[in-house]
Structure 1
Amino acid sequence: MITILPTAKRTKPRTSARPSWEEKPTLFGQLGKFLSLCLVLGVILFPLYCVVITSFSTQASINIAGGIVVVPHGLTLDAYRQMLDGGVVTRAVIIALVITLAGTAISMVVSVLCAYGLSRQHSFGHRTILMTFIATMFFSGGLIPTFIVVANIFHGYDQYWALILPSAVSVFNILIIRSFYMNTARDLIDAAKIDGAGDWRILWSVVLPTSKAVNVVMALFYGVTYWNSWFNVLLYMPADNSKWPIQYVLYEYVNQGASMPGGGSPDIAGHAQPAPLSLQMAVVVLTLIPILIVYPFTQKHFAKGALTGAIKG
C-alpha cells in the first residue's frame, strides 16, 4: 500500500516593501511636485523678467512704477542703442571676452597638466606635491601680501595679466580633474604603453578624449569665474576706466550709482537719452547673455562631469 503524504503548502516569498521614493506617486503627489517646480521657476524668472522689462522701459514708465518695472507702459531700445554705440560698455565687453578666453585657456592647460601628473601614483614627488596643493586650500598669505607680490614685486599694477595669473589655478578644480583621470581605463593606458606611447601621447590620445565631460565642466567653471570677476580690477586697475571689463563697469554704474556716459539731450540720430535705471538694467542683461549662450552647449556634460569627478576615486 502506497501512502501519499500531503505536500507542503506553497507560500509566495515575502518581498520587502519598496522605499517610498520608488513608489508610484499619487495624483496629489504629482500635483504637489508640479506646483513646487512652478513656484521655484517663478522665483527664478520673475526677477529676470523685471530686469529685462526695465531695460526696455522709458523714463515715464519707470516713474509710474516707482523704480523696477513690472507692467510696462512704454518700451524703447534707447538704452541698448546708447550702450552699444561704441562707448565704455562696448569696449568693456570686448575686454571681458578676451580676458575670459585667455584666462580659461591658461587655467585649463595648467589644471590638466597638474591633474594628470598627480593622477600618476608613482610619479616623482607625487604625495608631497599633492599635500602642498591641498595645504593652499586652507592657508594663504592673505590679501595684502598678494597685492604686494603682484603689484610691487612683479609690477602687475595696471596690467591685464594681473587679472588672470593670480587666480589662474583652482586647487579644487584640479582635484576633481585628478579624480576623473585616476579612473581612466587602465587597459587603454597599458595598451598605449605597450605600443610605445609616452606620457604626453597618453594624455593627448587616451586621457583627454575619455574625459571630455569633466574638462568641459571645469572650463565652464573657469570661464564663469573670469567673466564675473571684478575684485582684481578694483585692486590692480581702479583708475583707468578704458581698461575695465564689463563686470567692473556693472559694479561702478549699477552698484555704486555712478552716472553712465552721455547727457540728457537727444543724440545725433535724434534718439532721446535713455533713463539711467533702464541703462543700468541693460548692462545687467548684457552680462547674462554670454553665459546663457554657452551653458546649453555644456549642459549635457555638466551632471556627468561634476558628479562623476566628485564621486569616483
Structure 2
Amino acid sequence: MRRYATLLGTGGYLPETILTNAQIAETVDTSDAWIVERTGIRTRRIAAPHETASSMAERAARDALQAAGLEPEAIDLIIVGTGTPDRLFPSTACLLQQRLAIRQCAAFDVQAACSGFIFALSIADQYIRAGSARCVLVVGSELNSRIIDWSDRSTCVLFGDGAGAAVLGVAEEPGLLSTHIQSDGQYHDLLYVPNPAHGNEPPFLKMEGHEVFKVAVNTLGRIVDETLAANALTQADIDWLVPHQANIRIISATAKKLGLPMERVVVTIENQGNTSAASIPLALNEAIRDGRIQRGHTVLMEAFGAGFAWGSALLRY
C-alpha cells in the first residue's frame, strides 16, 4: 500500500495585544494611509512579555490536536518552523514536546524564515511517505516583535507575532499532493538578522525591501508553474491560494499569475501583519474554520523568505 500524508486538523494562536498603524505612527515618521497603501497592513498582534515561541506553539498545537480528534500521545514527530526560537538550543520543538508531555518521539526545528512552515510540511510529507512517521505535528511560531528595531520605519510596520499548527496523518489517497522547496544563498545579505555572538550588529531584522520584492514576485511565479506542472494541473484546478502574508502587492501578483480573483485568496495580513513561518498555517486554519476551504478543495500554499528560501505545497483537503 502506498502511503500519503493527509491533513487531519489545524489550529492557531494570536496574542491578545493589538498594535495599530496609528500607534506606530506616534513613534516613527509614517502614517496609517502610507502603511496600508504599501503593505495592506492595518494592525498586528504583539506577544506579551511572558509569551515565547514554544508557549504560542503549544496553544496552536492543542487547537490542531482537538480539531483532529487526537490526544498528544498520538504524535510521533514534531517539526517547528521558527526564526525566533526560545533558545539557541534545545530546539523550540523539544520545548513544545515537553509542554505537550509527549515522550519517545523526534522533535526538531526548521530554520527557513518565512518559508519555515512549508519546509517543515515538506519534511513531514517525506517522513509519512517513507513510513517513518504516522502522525506529525507541524508548527510555525514566531515572536517577530522581539527582533524588530522599532525605530526603523521600513521594517517595524510589517511584522506581528503568532503561531499556527497542522496535524498530518496517513492516508491511502494523496491529501498533500506535492511539496516543492528551494533556496539560493547568494541573496543572504538582503534579508537577515545578525547573530549577536558574531560582530557588533544589534540583533534586529535587516531588509532591502525593494530588492526582496522583485526577487519574491518572480520566484513565486516560477514555483507556481512548477507545482502545477508536477501535478498535471492547470490554474483552473486551484480552488484556493493560501500565500505567505508578507505584502498585499506580492499576494495580488501571485493571484494574478494564477488567474484567481482575490475572493479565492486567503488574506490575513490586514489584521495580523507578517507573522513569518506562522502566516500560512494561521491563514489555512482561519479559512478552514470559517468554512471557505472545504473537503475536496485543492489548495495551493506558497512562501518566500530569507535565505532566500521559498517553497510551495499543494493540498487536496
TM-score tier by shorter-chain length is under 0.3
Query: Greater CA radius of gyration, 1 or 2?
Result: 1
Normalized per residue, the structure richer in helix is 1
TM-score of the pair, normalised by structure 1: 0.21
TM-score of the pair, normalised by structure 2: 0.21
Normalized per residue, the structure richer in strand is 2
